[in-house]
């Protein structure tokens, strides 16, 4: 009989049991369910609901169950969900004492407690992966600090940049992702236990003590909101989708660069595949799958929004469906981050080809216009003059370098011999004055600031992770 079934005369239809069954996905919450149960019974002991002798029995059996499942996860079975499994398992072992563990607790606040405990741990793990990815990007940025390559707008060659500048652009994206994750953690780190089904309890539960045991920084202050709040899940799903979107953009970059037409990179064999028919192929499957899987995380976010959009207060069974989306996004994001942490350092970059293409004359057109601006020409007039030079070169099959000084002066008397000094990527890069540009001197400073920022981030996440409760340590403590 289900834990709630005492007033039911008829059993659920088998098809309904199958329809409502959630153990196959929520069983991954078993550790945090035991942890939350331990903290709850310790608190019940503190307020006199559970005796010291009963607490000792409960602690022993919670520990035993924890160790048994750790050694054999297949023990989790034959229950409608993980919460029922834990309570039924303890009750079978210790009888009436086990029936006390749900005192002052509803499935509603138990479920959301487990989800918050679980997500705190996962955010710490994902933060560590993002930090490691950023370390890779910053190392590549240092390695290629002065490596010119063409930059693009509209997928058309635009101006010379550096390979370092590309990596710093993606590092900026993942830096914002880490900031978002740190902000989300604050809203995950709220204790809901003690909210009951929706209206708290007449039992004087010591919620502050429970929060202390589980190292929550805050306690929810509205019981109806506490059991039905999934904003933090939505925020996390948005973070996951956006972070994966950044991976997908990086993936598209590598896919393009690996084509014969670009030929900027050679893919490592251990991160690419061949063709079953064409022996010469080396396919960017890692990048393509990253691009393809991104839709799944966006879909998980949309799915959760759809679940939440019409729910009245407070708890509704629809909320059971929050976990498949959340778990899916966590799993997909973690494995993708691990792949890219290993993939990026093994890519071979054809810096000679990048240099050759970044030396194409027309990439310096903007620099030439600004050359005229610095000599007093209004920018729009300078733009017109250089446009006329470009058209002349196109019509006469010439390059900027092939024009004589007299030809340059035919467009403006302000052109002098120093115009020829502009026509190489090194000058284009080194003459950049604005902070945030691809000038290698400026980017060295940017990298130093990013590395200092990352060290501070590492320290903060290390403190958060080290503060997370562990069941075995909590057993020793209480």
Which of residues 351, 368, 385 is at a domain's end?
Answer: 351
pLDDT at 219: 98
Query: What gap in Å lies between CA 421 and CA 408, rounded to an integer?
Result: 14
pLDDT at 281: 80
Query: What gap in Å lies between CA 252 and CA 260, rounded to an integer?
Result: 15
Q: Are 155 and 138 in contact (CB under 8 A)?
A: no
- Measured in Å, how far apart are the chain's first and last C-alpha atoms? 33
Diameter of the chain by CA atoms? 101
Q: How confident is the model at residue 17 (pLDDT cuts 50, 70, 90)?
A: confident
Q: Is residue 477 part of a domain?
A: no
Q: Is 184 in the same domain as 331?
A: yes
Q: Is 120 in the same domain as 95?
A: no
The verdict on whether omega for the bond into residue 314 sits within 30 degrees of 0, i.e. cis, is yes
Q: Is 221 in the same domain as 327?
A: yes
DSSP state of 368: H
DSSP state of 314: S
CATH code, 93 = 1.10.275.10
pLDDT at 277: 80
Q: Is 260 in the same domain as 172?
A: yes
pLDDT at 10: 75
Whole-number average pLDDT of the chain: 96
Q: Is residue 443 part of a domain?
A: no
Q: Is 78 in the same domain as 138?
A: no
* Residues 6, 8, 12: CA angle, nearest 5 degrees: 115
Q: Is 333 in the same domain as 195?
A: yes
Query: What gap in Å lies between CA 468 and CA 120, rounded to an integer?
Result: 8
Is 175 catalytic? The answer is no
pLDDT at 15: 87
pLDDT at 3: 60
Give per-residue pLDDT as tens, 161-213: 999 999 999 999 999 999 999 999 999 999 999 999 999 999 999 999 999 99
Average pLDDT over residues 382-409: 97
Query: What gap in Å lies between CA 283 and CA 272, rounded to an integer?
Result: 6
Average pLDDT over residues 351-359: 97
Is 275 catalytic? The answer is yes
Q: Is residue 8 part of a domain?
A: no
Q: Are 359 and 425 in contact (CB under 8 A)?
A: yes
Q: How confident is the model at residue 282 (pLDDT cuts 50, 70, 90)?
A: confident
CATH code, 409 = 1.10.40.30
DSSP H or E stretch at residue 348: strand 348-349
Q: Is residue 121 part of a domain?
A: yes
Q: Is 174 in the same domain as 321?
A: yes
Number of domain units in the chain: 3
Give per-residue pLDDT as tens, 303-331: 999 999 999 999 999 999 999 999 999 99
Q: Is 114 in the same domain as 99?
A: no
Task: State yes or no: pLDDT of 335 exceeds 80.
Answer: yes
Q: Is residue 406 part of a domain?
A: yes
Q: Residue 174 sits in which domain range? A: 110-145+158-204+213-351
Query: What gap in Å lies between CA 288 and CA 271, rounded to an integer?
Result: 11
Q: Is residue 452 part of a domain?
A: no
Which of residues 305, 323, 351 is at a domain's end?
Answer: 351
Q: Is residue 462 part of a domain?
A: no
Task: State yes or no: pLDDT of 276 exceeds 80.
Answer: no
Q: Is 324 in the same domain as 424?
A: no
Annotated active-site residue in 11, 51, 217, 275: 275
Q: Is 38 in the same domain as 165?
A: no
CATH code, 180 = 1.20.200.10
Which of residues 324, 351, 378 is at a domain's end?
Answer: 351
pLDDT at 135: 98
DSSP H or E stretch at residue 266: strand 265-266
For the purposes of burial, counting CB atoms within 10 Å of the CB of 421, is it exposed (0-12), middle (13-18) or buried (19 or more)? Answer: exposed
Query: What gap in Å lies between CA 366 and CA 437, rounded to an integer?
Result: 14
Annotated active-site residue in 154, 276, 404, 466: 154
Task: State yes or no: pLDDT of 4 exceeds 60.
Answer: no
Residues 6+ apart with CB under 8 A from 359: 148, 424, 425
* Residues 40, 43, 49: CA angle, nearest 5 degrees: 100
Q: Is 123 in the same domain as 88?
A: no
Average pLDDT over residues 87-101: 96
DSSP string, 141-190: HHHTTT-EEEEEETTEEEEEEEHHHHHHHHHHHHHHHHHHHHHHHHHH-E
pLDDT at 395: 97
Give per-residue pLDDT as tens, 290-306: 999 999 999 999 999 99
Q: Is 217 in the same domain as 92?
A: no
Output the CA–CA distances (angstroms, integers) from residue 37 to 55, 119, 198, 404, 468, in the order listed: 12, 17, 19, 83, 16
Q: How confident is the model at residue 2 (pLDDT cuts 50, 70, 90)?
A: low
3 alpha-carbon distance from chain centroid:
37
Average pLDDT over residues 449-470: 98
Q: Is residue 439 part of a domain?
A: no
């Amino acid at each position: 009989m289900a834990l709630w079934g005492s007033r039911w005369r008829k059993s659920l239809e088998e098809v309904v049991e199958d329809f409502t069954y959630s153990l196959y996905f929520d069983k991954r919450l078993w550790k945090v369910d035991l942890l939350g149960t331990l903290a709850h019974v310790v608190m019940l002991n503190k307020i006199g609901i559970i005796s010291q002798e009963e607490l000792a029995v409960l602690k022993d059996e919670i520990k035993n169950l924890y160790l048994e499942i750790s050694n054999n996860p297949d023990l989790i079975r034959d229950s409608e969900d993980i919460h029922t499994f834990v309570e039924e398992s303890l009750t079978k072992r210790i009888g009436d004492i086990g029936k006390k563990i749900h005192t002052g607790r509803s499935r509603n606040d138990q479920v959301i407690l487990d989800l918050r405990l679980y997500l705190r741990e996962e955010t710490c793990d994902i933060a560590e992966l993002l930090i490691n990815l950023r370390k890779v990007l910053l190392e590549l940025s240092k390695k290629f600090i002065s490596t010119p390559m063409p930059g693009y707008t509209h997928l058309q060659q635009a101006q010379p940049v550096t390979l370092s500048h590309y990596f710093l652009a993606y590092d900026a994206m993942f830096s914002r992702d880490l900031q978002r994750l740190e902000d989300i953690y604050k809203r995950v780190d709220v204790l809901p236990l003690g909210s009951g089904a929706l209206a708290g309890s007449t039992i004087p539960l010591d919620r502050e003590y429970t929060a202390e045991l589980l190292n929550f920084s805050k306690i929810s202050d509205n019981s109806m909101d506490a059991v039905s709040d999934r904003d933090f899940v939505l925020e996390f799903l948005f973070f996951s989708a956006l972070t994966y979107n950044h991976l997908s953009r990086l993936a598209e970059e590598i896919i393009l660069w690996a084509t014969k037409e670009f030929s900027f990179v050679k893919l490592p064999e251990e991160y690419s595949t061949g063709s079953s028919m064409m022996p010469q192929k080396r396919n960017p499957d890692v990048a393509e799958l990253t691009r393809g899987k991104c839709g799944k995380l966006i879909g998980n976010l949309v799915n959760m929004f759809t679940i939440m959009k019409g729910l009245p207060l407070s708890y509704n069974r629809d909320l059971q469906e929050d976990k498949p989306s959340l778990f899916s996004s966590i799993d997909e994001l973690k494995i993708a981050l691990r792949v890219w942490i290993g993939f990026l350092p093994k890519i071979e970059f054809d810096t000679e080809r990048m240099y050759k293409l970044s030396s194409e004359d027309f990439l310096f057109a903007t620099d030439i216009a600004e050359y005229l601006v610095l000599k007093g020409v209004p920018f729009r007039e300078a733009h017109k003059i250089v446009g006329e030079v470009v058209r002349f070169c196109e019509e006469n099959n010439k390059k900027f370098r092939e024009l004589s000084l007299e030809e340059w002066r035919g467009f403006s008397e302000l052109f002098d011999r120093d115009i020829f000094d502009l026509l190489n990527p090194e000058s284009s890069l080194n003459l950049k004055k604005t902070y945030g540009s691809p000038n290698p001197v400026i980017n060295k400073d940017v990298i130093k600031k990013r590395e200092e920022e990352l060290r501070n981030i590492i320290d903060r996440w290390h403190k958060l992770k080290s503060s997370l409760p562990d069941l075995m340590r909590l057993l020793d403590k209480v």
